[in-house]
Amino acid sequence: MDIERIPPAEALRRQRDGGVLIDVRAAHERATGFAEGARGITKDELEADPAAALPDRDVPVMLICQMGGRSLKAAEALCAAGYVRVASVEGGTERWIADGLPTERPAGDHDFYDRYSRHLRLPEVGEVGQKRLQEARIAMVGAGGLGSPAAYYLAAAGIGTLVLADDDVVDRSNLQRQILHTDDRVGVAKVESARIALSALNPRVDIQAFPERITAANVERLIADADVVIDGADNFPARYLLNDACVKLGKPLVYGAVHRFEGQVSVFDAGRLRGEAPCYRCLFPEPPPPEAAPNCAEAGVLGVLPGVIGLLQATEAIKLILDLGEPLRGRLLHFDALSMRFRETRLGPDPDCLVCAPGRDFPGYIDYARFCSAQSNP
């Protein structure tokens, strides 16, 4: 079927001569700007019942979308339905705006539609999903190597509230990998430095900064209202504490760790899926000895490595909030930067796990520092 394709200027001329200009994009796309006087009717709505929108089959109709693809397909559908004077606007709204033709915008939150326009164009996210991100609350322990990239991209993605807990201050040695911080903020509390950077990136996000070391006394206060918890800690006591609290409170925990040139990521969701998904203790019933897992200050770390792992953590957090795809539940993803390879290890729940075994009551918080020290130095 040979559909007439016309430039935006010709569409404007025909519109002014009595033709009907229809924008077939979704409402959230039109919110970023549309051709002046265009009627907003989505492609699906138009194809489902063209007579409701266009009772006169002889009226000149021009269809416009973002770049010209959808409008062409909608024009083919109208012609097949018996409409005889149908044209598609080449280049769509993008060319209409580039050519300087008159446009308008509906009233509303223009910042929202501009800032998240690329998310809004994803059918899997759209306006509903973006508003779900905007309503979400993520708690993150650690504003360092892993927390920096994770928090940065979560703020950019439009997470409504980010809770950051870290009792450290910015050191010059951090700047090689902790991208939230800058040289002029050396000596500043990391959570305050993070708040400055994240608010500058996206002032819509509520950054709640707690310059605190996570303990059994404060962990529930920090994560109780979170939809997702991200483990950006650099020590085993904090990881075991976070795991136990997330199991108790039914929170998904996005785990990440780095060592020299390697990193790993997983999602521990045993609190919500007892007997189906493992927790951190199912993977590591006991902490490894210190010589087997030295921290970054002792062993060093490739500066870009936390960026890779932190971004994977942010990706998993967004997927969990949007209920998209397949989270890393029951899977441990390993990354080797030197070989540039990923490999995956399947994880099952431990039916005898002290914390997440089905039917087992929460055993209570313990002295995690002593536990890790005792297990590492029997």
The residues that are catalytic are 296
Q: What dihedral do alpha carbons 234, 300, 283, 307 form, nearest 10°? A: 70
Closest CA to 66 of 29, 38, 41, 102: 29
CA atoms within 13 A on the CB side of 213: 8
Q: Are 185 and 193 in contact (CB under 8 A)?
A: yes
| Amino acid letter, 112 | F
Max intra-chain CA distance, the chain: 88
How many other CB atoms are found less than 10 A from the CB of residue 274? 18
| Amino acid letter, 117 | S
Give CA separation, 195 vs 115, 151, 315, 362, in Å: 19, 10, 21, 34
Give CA separation, 93 vs 8, 49, 98, 132, 140, in Å: 8, 24, 8, 28, 40
> How many angstroms separate the CA atoms of 194 and 188, rounded?
10
Closest CA to 213 of 165, 254, 257: 165
Which structure tokens are listed for 69? 């693809």
Beta bridge partners of 343: 334
> How many angstroms separate the CA atoms of 225 and 251, rounded?
9
